[in-house]
């Protein structure tokens, strides 16, 4: 478990561990750099699974997953990666993860969950299920009749992303190429936004990791985060305040349960959005 994660990749494991009497070990992160601490000292021959985020939805931090996964595998344990925040922002080859999950609604699709794992691994897991429901993998993990409209919507979302400028023969190539373009686009615009925000008096930026998504968390001196969010909304900027369910991370940063203001970029965010946000924040300071 890491303190960088969304509670969705923390609490279910804590509760599962309680249910079977397993020990939970916490991997912290450095509030100054937003980088995960060293995992190696936490691993023992009794470690079964390491749950880690692909990217923090609060700070954007992108842990070095392949290196982390190889440490975990050397210890004989499995890696479960929460890719909900990472997947919309970068091309991902999740081959290093035993389990990789993401949420299509984060990339223009419908509300359903996606889990990728090898059939052999899934075969060894026995979810609670109705007796007549099929036991074959992967349908064993579904609830009765499949949600066909959600599956169709997810396919359409992937097609849409693959069509956003991506080049290549097949859909996979076009998708990876589109996402690489989007990553560069968001990184460049995000870097400009960060530089401009950092130059404003009274702004504290909280995310400092070397590798991260274009997700920025900041506080404004003398302002409650929610008051800032309300002011920004008046200027047509949707930048909510809170911990965004990354409660452990928010507490670890000293921001308690209140959190701070988060802005994130998406494929549809453009220069005028960034200008409007920066100008609205500058007006706050007047």
Ligand X SMILES: Cc1ncc(COP(=O)(O)O)c(C=O)c1O
Instruction: Choose the binding region for ligand X from 6-14, 124-132, 175-183, 261-269 (rule: CB under 6 A).
Output: 6-14
The one segment of 1-9, 14-22, 59-67, 275-283 that binds ligand X by CB under 6 A? 1-9
Which 18-37 positions form the footprint of ligand X (CB under 6 A)? none
206 binds ligand X (CB under 6 A): no
Residue from 6, 174, 206, 252 touching ligand X (CB under 6 A): that is 6
HSE of 237 in the Cβ direction (CA atoms, 13 Å)? 25
Task: Give yes or no for residue 53 binding ligand X (CB under 6 A).
Answer: yes
- Residue 248 binds to ligand X (criterion: CB under 6 A): no
**Residue 62 in the binding site for ligand X (CB under 6 A):** no
Min. distance of Cβ 123 from ligand X in angstroms?
25
- Name which of 4 and 278 has its Cβ closer to ligand X: 4
* Interaction of residue 85 with ligand X, rule CB under 6 A: yes
Number of residues that bind ligand X (CB under 6 A): 9
Query: Does the protein bind ligand X through residue 3 (CB under 6 A)?
Result: no
Beta carbon of residue 58, minimum distance to ligand X (angstroms, whole number) = 8
Residues 125-164 interacting with ligand X (rule: CB under 6 A): none
Binding test (CB under 6 A) with ligand X, winner from 1, 4, 8, 162? 8
CA dist., res. 49 & res. 52, Å (int): 10
In whole angstroms, how close is the CB of 51 to ligand X at the nearest point? 11
Name residue, tokens 């390491």: 50
Give residues with Cβ within 8 angstroms of 247, minimum separation 6: 7, 257
Of 4-12, 116-124, 167-175, 255-263, the segment contacting ligand X by CB under 6 A is 4-12
Query: Which of 1, 60, 80, 82: binder of ligand X (CB under 6 A)?
Result: 82
Structure tokens at 126: 């026995």
Nearest residue (CB) to ligand X, 107 versus 218: 107
Judged by beta carbon, residue 34 or residue 280, the one nearer ligand X is 34
Residues in contact with ligand X by CB under 6 A are 6, 8-9, 53, 57, 82, 84-85, 103
């Amino acid at each position: 478990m890491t303190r960088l994660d969304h509670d969705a990749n923390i609490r279910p494991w804590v509760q599962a561990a309680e249910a079977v009497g397993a020990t939970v070990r916490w991997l912290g992160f450095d509030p100054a750099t937003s980088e995960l601490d060293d995992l190696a000292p936490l691993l023992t021959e009794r470690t079964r699974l390491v749950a880690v985020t692909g990217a923090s939805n609060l700070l954007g931090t992108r842990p070095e997953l392949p290196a982390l996964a190889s440490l975990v595998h050397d210890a004989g344990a499995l890696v479960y990666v929460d890719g909900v925040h990472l997947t919309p922002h970068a091309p991902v080859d999740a081959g290093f993860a035993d389990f990789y999950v993401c949420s299509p609604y984060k990339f223009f699709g419908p509300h359903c969950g996606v889990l990728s794992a090898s059939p052999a691994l899934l075969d060894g897991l026995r979810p609670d299920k109705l007796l007549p429901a099929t036991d074959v993998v992967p349908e064993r993990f579904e609830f009765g009749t499949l949600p066909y409209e959600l599956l169709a919507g997810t396919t359409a979302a992937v097609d849409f992303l693959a069509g956003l400028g991506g080049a290549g023969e097949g859909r996979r190539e076009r998708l990876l190429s589109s996402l690489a373009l989007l990553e560069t686009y968001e990184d460049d615009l995000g870097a400009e936004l960060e530089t401009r925000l950092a130059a404003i008096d009274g702004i504290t930026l909280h995310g400092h990791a070397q590798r991260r998504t274009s997700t920025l968390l900041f506080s404004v001196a003398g302002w409650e985060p929610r008051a800032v969010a309300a002011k920004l909304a008046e200027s047509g900027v949707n930048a909510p305040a809170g911990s965004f369910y990354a409660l452990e991370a928010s507490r670890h940063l000293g921001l308690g349960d209140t959190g701070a203001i988060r802005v994130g970029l998406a494929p549809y965010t453009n220069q005028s959005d960034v200008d409007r946000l920066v100008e609205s924040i500058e007006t706050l300071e007047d």
